[in-house]
């Protein structure tokens, strides 16, 4: 039984983070003024958000909704995800092209203190995430403030690979 409310609607994560980036509510992304969603970045690939600052620098942001928490540790993914690995490879390609790339895990509950990849569920995703970090893809993890009336991004949560 979870010790928190859990938002299981995966669309909420993208909507929340789009709004947060427009309002510049995420400090590390506040330099970006222009926001586009569902951006085609390669032949058959889309990433969630493209941010651009006034100097024309781009930041590609991929958002993952995280609902699995065990012993106060949030994990992603909760099932094998070939598409998730593809997104990590796309982010790495963006870094090679000179762009900033961020994978943001939004923990849609309030009872976690740490994030780790779910190697016990999809070890290939964990391996690709570690490779992405080595290749300068940034990780950000945030939890939410969640009640029956609202949900909004809250604290940044530490992560371990």
Q: Which of 10-14, 44-48, 75-79 has the highest mean pLDDT?
A: 75-79
Domain chopping of the chain, boundaries: 10-156
What is the model's pLDDT at position 2? 63
What is the value of pTM for the model shown? 0.92
**119/136 Cα distance (integer angstroms):** 21
Mean pLDDT score of the chain: 92
**138/9 Cα distance (integer angstroms):** 25
CATH class of the structural domain 10-156: alpha beta
**25/49 Cα distance (integer angstroms):** 15
């Amino acid at each position: 039984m979870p010790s928190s409310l859990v938002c299981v609607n995966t669309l909420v994560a993208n909507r929340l983070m789009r709004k947060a980036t427009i309002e510049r509510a995420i400090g590390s992304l506040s330099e970006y003024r222009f926001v586009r969603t569902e951006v085609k970045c390669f032949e058959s690939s889309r990433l969630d958000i493209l941010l651009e600052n006034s100097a024309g620098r781009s930041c590609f942001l991929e958002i993952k909704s995280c609902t699995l928490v065990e012993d106060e540790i949030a994990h992603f993914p909760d099932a094998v995800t070939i598409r998730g690995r593809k997104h990590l490879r796309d982010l790495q390609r963006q870094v090679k092209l000179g762009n900033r790339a961020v994978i943001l895990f939004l923990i849609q509950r309030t009872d976690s203190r740490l994030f780790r990849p779910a190697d016990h569920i999809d070890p290939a995703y964990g391996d690709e995430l570690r490779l992405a970090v080595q290749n300068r893809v940034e990780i950000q993890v945030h939890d939410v403030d969640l009640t029956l009336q609202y949900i909004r991004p809250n604290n940044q949560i530490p992560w371990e690979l």
